[in-house]
Amino acid sequence: MRLFNMPPQIVRLCLVTIGIVGSYLVARAVLTPPSFREYGFFRGDALKDIMALPPQYGGKVSCDECHSDQFTKLNKGGHKRLSCEVCHGPGYAHTQSPDAGMHKPTFTVCSKCHEANPSRPKTHKQIVLKEHYAGGKCMECHVPHSPAEVP
Amino acid sequence: MDVTNVMAHVASSVDVTNILVEVAPRFEGYVYPNEASPEPLWGILIVIYPYITGLVAGAFIMASLVRVFRVQALEPVYRLSLLTALSFMLCATMPLLLHLGHPERCYEIMMTPHLTSPMAIFGFVYAWYLMAVLLLELWFDYRQDFVEWSQTEPGFRGMLYRALMLGVTDESEAAVKLDMKLGWIISIIGIPSAFLLHGYVGFIFGSIKANPWWGNVLMPIIFILSAMVSGIALCVLNYMVLTWVRRKKIDMRCLDMMAMFLFYALVIDAAVEGLDWIHRIYSAEEDFSVIRYVATEKLFYTLNIGQALMGTVLPLLMLGLNQVVRKRLSDMARKRMYFASALMIVLGVFAMRWNVVIGGQLFSKSLRGFMSYKMQFIGMEGWLLGLVVLSIPFIILTVMIKLFLSERLPTAGHTPHPTPPSN
Amino acid sequence: MSQKLSRRNVLAKISAALAAACAAPAAQAAKATVQKVLVESGGAKGYDPTKHKWAMAIDASRCIGCGSCADACKKENHVPEGHYYRTWIERYVITKPKPGSDEARGEVLVDSPEGGMHGFGPCPVPKEELLQSFFVPKLCNLCLHSPCAQVCPVGATFDSPDGAVLVDRKYCIGCGFCIQACPYGCRFMSPVTHTAEKCTLCYHRITRGLKPACVEVCPVQARIFGDLKNPVPDDPLQTFYKNNRVQTLKPHLGTEPRVMYAGIDKEVR
């Protein structure tokens, strides 16, 4: 086979090269995801995939819809900066359907922040639980939604 | 703060140990929670991958000595070296693929290659080296033989050779001359390509600035040099084993020449690796106490004994002795020393790959603690799979030798180191 | 149907723009329209990633080490059990120098039992030997020059236009290169999906107008979160930047973390 008077080796190799490069380009056209490079060097649809994941924590504002009394009380006291879900646990499911219950807080939610530890900032209120009250029933004396209040 | 001091403190108090070193004594000091894995992220398969790629590059350089630098004494191992390079090349991506979390998605690396990633570029370097260099050089060298063999050999072999001719039957003097000329050009392109191939493997590690054990400008160079050393040593072993299996006499001129190149390559390799250590010790950066602990304690056997003593010092002494007093040593003594040196080098370079890959994962990137791993025998990162993966290129090489280096098949008269094109 | 129509509209707009004048600005405008419509029709509730730039800051001097953030992160993102954390808390304990020693400080002990998600035990050093101690929350540093996105061979991990560094778990090949490249240990290989995973800045939350879970539950506002492109009145991030001298982690690596820390020590890395 003589094409443009080229030696047969070269012709064969050119054909093989064209075949390889061509099939690569075809494969690339077919297999590159359509949304690739939409925003940058990644699959643009990945953003939508990640956005679509369901949340577990509903956010503090959503609690106000039904529990505005507790919500208002909380926002007046020393715990005003706390989100409800710090102690009550994730509540997105509860906001969607009230049947989905919430975590019942025990004294551990108090001690996880207020147990004395020298690594904690000095300005943070801390107690040594064993010395403070061995009974461990914080709510006998404290109102979590309004820490300054005495029940 | 010296990490070893911290650990001495940790060890000095049982209470402290219980609190500070969580779960198991696998970890010393503090490691980031995500690093507290019982297995390294990159295990034996990633050790094997640069090892195999290095053997490819080294074996190819060996073949180039014949074709480009026209070292005639090495002619008996020209085709053997190229076939060695090809068999290992065909397996180079295997450990990588086996290691991936999603091997079925590997095509993405060619479809959407992220050009800032050393790993993505490696896909193209690999394809270039396999198809544009190795296969082409072999094809030009073998084409005339394929034409001959396809006529004389019956059955499967005949069909194979006929297929490999790619339909080019021209056996004229001009055509063969062109083959040789093109092969020579490919070989010249091949040398920088071999450096690029293995330099890139080194760069995959050298570019990780997060890891002081890896992130090092000398890493690609060390990888290239150790690749040359291991590749030449493997060719020495393959040649000696092949002649022994075939009950042939070893061409001592060829073997002496290989040993000489092995010695020179090893000298340069040892010098650059030594330079790397001198630099690390002298500059003694933030991470030095960690690096020192890894090198002297955690990797004591594989680094100091395996890589430095067995893989470098002893072969240097033996091969060096042969350079000085070669004439006074008998053929048998030289053969034994060459074989022992080559074997130690091949194992030593494996230890070097191990030290790089595993060593970089023995300490926390917080530079405050260390991890320990126990090698499994079974499993994706176990010894067994590693041995299987490492043996496959040898199986392929055996088949290739049977097909393309058979004693029954006459080879055409041309030599692989023709007079270079002289217009 | 409406999507189809809007796409057709867009195509019409593009061809109109191209036909009117094949000028580059026109083409660019058409491209912007395409992007906008795609975003709006893609079920993302009108969220446009090009119109936000999220950032986080850490005021470590406030952190009480309660572990709520690490715990909430695990729950919010279904992070696998075991040694896998998208965020965690470290405790630094610095002892007094040994009696008679001429050093400024003693030893530095760091720990993070279970990422601190269940809080911390008593101080490992007796009170008399303790010089100082503090907690440091850790998370993805949202690097400006993220080494993880740089090394990803396929573009499966990337800097999103709105400031998060994300992983596309449908596209990740699981090579682990990004995990090796992250200087801060913020990534891990998920044993469930066999892909790399990391902090997404709770991307599914922030695009819905919620705060990241760790920020939501932090009782002391040690984690400060906001949108640099859309500051709100009394923006907590802007206040933080104004009132603090900040540091980033491992600045010598040139990753330029966008997560800035106040109140940390030279020993934090």
Helix (H) or strand (E) holding C223, with range, is strand C223-227
Q: Supply B289's token pair.
A: 């106490």
pLDDT at B197: 87
* Mean pLDDT value across residues A145-149: 88
pLDDT at A140: 85
List CB contacts (< 8 A) between C111 and chain B: 19-20, 22, 30
In a domain, B420, yes or no: no
pLDDT at B335 over 60: yes
Helix (H) or strand (E) holding C165, with range, is strand C165-167
pLDDT, tens only, B182-198:
999 999 999 999 888 88
Q: Which of B163, B121, B114 is closest to B142 using CA atoms?
A: B163
pLDDT at A38: 93
Per the prediction, chain B carries an average pLDDT of 89
Contact yes or no for B54/B223 (Cβ under 8 A): yes
Q: Which residue has the tokens 């209120």?
A: A125
Q: pTM of the prediction?
A: 0.88
pLDDT at B396 over 70: yes
In a domain, B327, yes or no: yes
pLDDT at B145 over 80: yes
CA angle B195, B200, B203 (to 5 degrees): 125
Chain C residue with the nearest C-alpha to that of B117? C151
Query: What is the spatial distance between Cα C190 and Cα C114, in angstroms, rounded to a whole number?
Result: 17
**Virtual torsion, Cα A42, A48, A49, A50, nearest 10 deg:** 90
Give the Cβ contact number of residue C186 at 10 Å: 25
Q: Which residue has the tokens 């055409």?
A: B412
| A104–chain C nearest CA distance, Å | 16
pLDDT at A51: 95
pLDDT at C13: 52
Contact yes or no for B108/C143 (Cβ under 8 A): no
Query: What is the spatial distance between Cα C86 and Cα C188, in angstroms, rounded to a whole number?
Result: 8
CB contact set of C49 (below 8 Å; sequence gap of 6+): A39, A47, C39, C160, C161, C162, C207
**A115 - beta bridge partners?**
A127
Query: What is the spatial distance between Cα C67 and Cα C63, in angstroms, rounded to a whole number?
Result: 10
- Burial label for B167, CB within 10 Å (0-12, 13-18, 19+), is exposed
pLDDT at C26: 43
Q: Give phi and psi for A32, each to the nearest 5.
A: -75, 125
Query: What is the spatial distance between Cα C161 and Cα C139, in angstroms, rounded to a whole number?
Result: 19
CB contact set of C120 (below 8 Å; sequence gap of 6+): A117, A119, C65, C67, C89, C91, C111, C113, C135
* Mean pLDDT value across residues B140-165: 92
Number of structural domains, chain B?
Answer: 1
Tell if the CB–CB gap between A8 and B175 is shorter than 8 Å: yes
Q: Regarding predicted confidence, which is higher, C90 or B414?
A: C90
Select from C84, C109, C152 the residue whose CB has the most chain B CBs within 10 Å, as the one to mutate to test that interface: C109
User: At C244, which amino acid appears?
Assistant: N
pLDDT at B69 over 80: yes
Query: What is the spatial distance between Cα A114 and Cα A102, in angstroms, rounded to a whole number?
Result: 23
Tell if the CB–CB gap between C151 and B119 is shorter than 8 Å: yes
| B166–chain A nearest CA distance, Å | 7
Q: Which domain holds residue B268?
A: 37-404
Q: Supply B282's token pair.
A: 């002298």
Q: B136 touching A, CB under 8 A? A: yes
Stretch 54-93 of chain A: residues touching chain B, C-beta under 8 Å: none
Query: What is the spatial distance between Cα C140 and Cα C146, in angstroms, rounded to a whole number?
Result: 10
**Virtual torsion, Cα B381, B382, B388, B390, nearest 10 deg:** 70
Query: Range with the lowest mean pLDDT among A7-21, A90-104, B72-86, B180-194?
Result: A90-104
pLDDT at B416: 56
pLDDT at B351: 96
Select from B366, B367, B370 the residue whose CB has the most chain C CBs within 10 Å, as the one to mutate to test that interface: B366
Q: B143 touching A, CB under 8 A? A: yes
Tell if the CB–CB gap between A9 and B112 is shorter than 8 Å: no
Q: A54 touching C, CB under 8 A? A: yes
pLDDT at A32 over 60: yes
pLDDT at B11 over 60: no
Q: Which residue has the tokens 């190819």?
A: B60
| A46–chain C nearest CA distance, Å | 5
pLDDT at B207 over 70: yes
Of C47, C127, C155, which is closest to A118 when you measure between CB atoms? C127
Query: What is the spatial distance between Cα B132 and Cα B136, in angstroms, rounded to a whole number?
Result: 6
In a domain, B91, yes or no: yes
DSSP states of A12-76:
HHHHHHHHHHHHHHHHHHHHS-TTBTSSSSSBTHHHHHHHTSPPS---HHHHHTT-HHHHHHHHH
pLDDT at A5 over 80: no
In a domain, B375, yes or no: yes
N- to C-terminal Cα separation, chain A: 102
Chain A residue with the nearest C-alpha to that of C134? A119
> What's the full length of chain A, in residues?
151
pLDDT at A3: 53
List CB contacts (< 8 A) between B136 and chain A: 13
Q: A50 touching C, CB under 8 A? A: yes
Query: What is the spatial distance between Cα B369 and Cα B218, in angstroms, rounded to a whole number?
Result: 26
Query: What is the spatial distance between Cα C179 and Cα C157, in angstroms, rounded to a whole number?
Result: 11
* Mean pLDDT value across residues B304-319: 96
**Virtual torsion, Cα A11, A13, A19, A21, nearest 10 deg:** -120
Q: Would you write out chain C's pLDDT as a tens digit for each of its 269 residues?
A: 344 445 545 545 544 444 444 444 444 444 444 344 333 433 346 899 999 999 999 999 999 999 999 999 999 999 999 999 999 999 999 999 999 999 999 999 999 999 999 999 999 999 999 999 999 999 999 999 999 999 999 999 999 999 999 999 999 999 999 999 999 999 999 999 999 999 999 999 999 999 999 999 999 999 999 999 999 999 999 999 999 999 999 999 999 999 999 999 999 99
Is B300 strand, coil or helix?
helix
Q: Which residue has the tokens 């075949």?
A: A19
Helix (H) or strand (E) holding C94, with range, is strand C88-95
* Mean pLDDT value across residues A139-148: 88
Tell if the CB–CB gap between A54 and C158 is shorter than 8 Å: no
Give the Cβ contact number of residue B381 at 10 Å: 21
Chain C residue with the nearest C-alpha to that of A42? C155
Tell if the CB–CB gap between A1 and B140 is shorter than 8 Å: no
Q: Is B382 left (phi over 0), alpha (psi -120 to 50) or beta?
A: beta
CB contact set of B51 (below 8 Å; sequence gap of 6+): B230, B349, B350, B353, B390
Of A8, A27, A41, which is closest to B114 when you measure between CB atoms? A41
pLDDT, tens only, B336-346:
999 999 999 99
Query: What is the spatial distance between Cα C182 and Cα B90, in angstroms, rounded to a whole number?
Result: 31
Q: Give phi and psi for B29, each to the nearest 5.
A: 70, -150
- ipTM summary value: 0.89
Q: Which of B78, B295, B68, B319 is closest to B191 using CA atoms?
A: B68
Q: Which residue has the tokens 């090489």?
A: B397
DSSP states of A86-101:
HHH---HHHHH-TTS-
In a domain, B371, yes or no: yes
pLDDT at B10: 41
| B285–chain C nearest CA distance, Å | 12
Q: HSE on the CB side for C258, CA within 13 Å?
A: 21
Query: What is the spatial distance between Cα C169 and Cα C197, in angstroms, rounded to a whole number?
Result: 8
**Virtual torsion, Cα B328, B332, B338, B344, nearest 10 deg:** -120
Query: What is the spatial distance between Cα B203 and Cα B280, in angstroms, rounded to a whole number?
Result: 18
- Burial label for B264, CB within 10 Å (0-12, 13-18, 19+), is middle
Contact yes or no for C140/C30 (Cβ under 8 A): no
Q: HSE on the CB side for A42, CA within 13 Å?
A: 26
pLDDT at B4: 45
Q: B173 touching A, CB under 8 A? A: no
Tell if the CB–CB gap between C113 and B19 is shorter than 8 Å: yes
Q: Regarding predicted confidence, which is higher, B127 or B418?
A: B127
Query: What is the spatial distance between Cα B162 and Cα B176, in angstroms, rounded to a whole number?
Result: 17
In a domain, B337, yes or no: yes
Is A127 strand, coil or helix?
strand
